[in-house]
Chain A
Amino acid sequence: MAHMTNPLATPEQLFQRRSFGALPMDLQDAVFFATQCLTQAAGILLELPQSITAQANVLLARYWLVEPMMSHEFSDVSAAILYLTAKCSDLPRSPRDLCLVYTHLLSRTSSTFFRPAHLPPPPPPLSPSNQPPTQADYAAFHARLLPLEAHILASLSFNTHVALPHPLAVTYLQALDFFGQPRRGPLARRALAYLNTALLSPQLLYLTSQPHALAVAALYNAARDVGARMPACDWWEVFDVEREELGFLVVGMRSVDGWGRKIRAEAIEGWEGGMVTREDVERELRRRGIGVGAGNENGGGLGDAEEEMARRMDEKMAAMEAGAA
């Protein structure tokens, strides 16, 4: 059964997410969203199939339920997980390829790759910064990548198993007799699109539902969008999904699109697509007057550093407590 099931998040893990480093939920969601998009973009540039990139997305989501978000740079976590997932698959990618792709995606000027199309193009660079990484850049990247790989594996108990719902969705389409029908193309495409979008969901749908439920919900949504005639009975029960769970997933999947647009626009001031960094988040926290910046406006640099240290230690404590619990 291992090919069809995933380990799911426990209620404690989901709850604990709120307490990590007192990072507000909307910021966590924004970082999650941006990092998952970055992983997807990197997967495409590295010519990895979606079956591998999607696994990386799921592993990333799991990792952030175990470790506090702010303990490593987000893009590094994305790179390490994608590296790890590709390594365990048939299509390993070298650290150098990853370095090249991530440097490109992170350069603010050249990276239009995962900016939404409707936004204005980024301002022209003052100095051309979209050069390939130097040897020193690569060495630094490599030195961050490998320890993080091991750290991520230890955080996940070395369980890199991810069962994706995509093949199940196709199988279900076959079981429902949709293949051979003229409109199967759009229906299947739409269903897979829902599954891929769900990877970005702040509700962590892949960590709370098993693949068969995700597949059924994606089919349900796709059939509604395309106008395909589904059986009149409770057909989802054939695939072992309850009406209640289906309803939750259907709404959850449908809401990602609108939510994503909104969070891009609102979560972090001055952030318009592109990748978020820890620095961005810290600046945003200061702007809101919480966490790092709280009561520290007149303190200055040194106080900042101390606060920062204290916050990191708090995080560590929270993590340790969580681990003990």
Chain B
Amino acid sequence: MASKAKSRWADDEADAALEAQLKREKEEKKRLKAEKARKLEAERQAREAAATAAAQQEADSTNGPPAKRRRISPNRETSQTAEGRDASNDAPKLLRFEGGAFGRCRSVENYDKLNDIEEGAYGWVSRAKEIATGKVVALKRLKIDPKDRSGLPVTGLREIQILKDCDHRNVVKLQEVVVGEDTSRIENIFLVLEFVEHDLKSILEDMPEPFLASEVKTLLQQLASGVAYLHDNWILHRDLKTSNLLLNNRGQLKIADFGMARYVGDPPPQLTQLVVTLWYRAPELLLGATRYGPAIDMWSVGCIFGELLTREPLLQGRNEADELAKIFELCGVPTEDTWPGFRRLPNARALRLPPSASSKTPGAGGSAVRARFPLLTAAGAALLGSLLSLDPDRRPGAREMLAHEYFRQDPKPKQEAMFPTFPSKAGQERRRRRETPNAPARGQRAADLGAVDFSGIFSGREKEERGGGFSLRMV
């Protein structure tokens, strides 16, 4: 483009035409201005002569219908010229950008607390009612450590900023941020979030039967569409797990808890590897990668997929090394073929892996996803297998995932409105403290895996189900 010899602005026919039109428009404007002046003058005269009835009549004649007619005519003229030529060259249609306004926080006194819901790693959540409107919301109080020498926690500030910027049906909505009554000393900061009845974790724990295939699809589709929105907007969530996914009584899934989230760029900046709750943490993070991208969220989506099918977290490692062992057990041991360059990651250098030559047993060394989920359709297993690719570059993006065949196959995703409802926990009683580990804390030291021996991880593989089982509840 730059090497083009002739400038784009060189005069040609289109330019000439445009110029002619601009001239016309200018004349039009001039004429309108003159007309306006004339009208003003007429009005002034009318006012001066208002005392007499005769003048009143005159004012009517100049100010009434004729003026209206005149105002219409220029429009008609321009539209005629536009029809004659290129319509896009007509009077410019400029986009308006609205960014809202800024101003002080409101006080938390505008809300009435109803009951506590739960205590998370980043704060206390309670159910509350906005006094003015009666609307029920969730109030999340930021944990502020008064001894923290660096002031307000940056994770809380990031969460607020990211939620403020987000507007998607599958991302929990931040209504506003309120503070305690005394604004000279800010001690309490509350996020006013839309109230959502359940979280997926407690539903999974309590349901007697697993979700139907169609229901899993609905949930996954919503999760993927929320994650796609985040990734499109350069946000990494970095703590996707079932307890951070909320579900309302209309079958809508919402991604919540952005305490670990942050904006990233391309190329990805240097980031901390200490993110994502252990059971949902991608192998590249466990191996110490500090440059990573949306693929780490897609790994978590894969873990959630597995959990939706079985009601049990997929990879429950006791520590970093055990988590890696569990991952390799399910997804196979990384090789230069399945994950080019993984040996260059900080924690991978001292890794002792079972030699691939000795793994003659079927499945060993390769992925065991298909065997572990015998009830899943081929497309479903392919999607899950690709989400759980060891190599981050082989995991599909959220948009690719949405386009996957799995969602088009029967059974089709269930309509949200047809989703079953669940007895509300958040509505009344305090939610159960859960046994899932929390996301790593900021400033925590990254685990140094050291020399870990994974050569024995396949010893227990015989226990697994093999081949196609079948289920009666498919719809």
Contacts and interface: CB of A to CB of B under 8 A. Distances in A.
Given A88-B154, A234-B22, A7 B100 contact: yes
A312 interface: no
Q: Name the residue in B3, B177, B269 with the highest tally of chain A Cβ atoms < 10 Å from its Cβ.
A: B177
A29 to B, nearest CB: 20
Contacts of B96: 240
Interface stretch (A173-181, A248-256, A273-281): A173-181
Given A157-B102, A157-B105, A232-B19, A4 B7 contact: no
A22 interface: no
Contacts of B177: 157-158
B444 interface: no
A154 B183 CA distance: 8
A161 interface: yes
Interface residues of B, number: 46
Q: Name the residue in B22, B105, B151 with the highest tally of chain A Cβ atoms < 10 Å from its Cβ.
A: B151
Contact of A153 (B19, B97, B157): B157
A9 B101 contact: yes
Interface in A9-26: 9-10, 13
Q: Binding site of A, secondary structure by majority: helix, strand, loop or mixed?
A: loop
Interface string A150-185: 110111111111010000000000000101110000
A99 B109 CA distance: 36
Interface stretch (B158-166, B317-325, B407-415): B158-166
A80 B97 CA distance: 30
Contacts of A258: none
Contacts of B94: 237, 240-242
A264 interface: no
B445 interface: no
B179 interface: yes
Contact of B104 (A1, A94, A157): A157
B15 A233 contact: yes
B157 A145 contact: no
Interface in A230-288: 230-234, 237, 240-242
Interface string B170-189: 00000011010001111001
B365 to A, nearest CB: 40
B165 A161 contact: yes
Contacts of A157: 102-105, 176-177
Contacts of B98: 5
Interface in A27-85: 62, 65-66, 83-84
Interface of B: 1-4, 7-9, 11, 15, 18-19, 22, 92, 94-105, 149-152, 154, 157-158, 160-161, 164-165, 176-177, 179, 183-186, 189, 233, 269
14 contacts: A13-B101, A84-B157, A147-B185, A147-B186, A149-B151, A151-B184, A154-B179, A158-B161, A160-B157, A160-B161, A231-B9, A233-B15, A234-B22, A323-B104
Interface of A: 1-10, 13, 62, 65-66, 83-84, 87-88, 90, 92, 94-95, 142, 145-147, 149-151, 153-161, 163, 177, 179-181, 210, 212, 229-234, 237, 240-242, 323
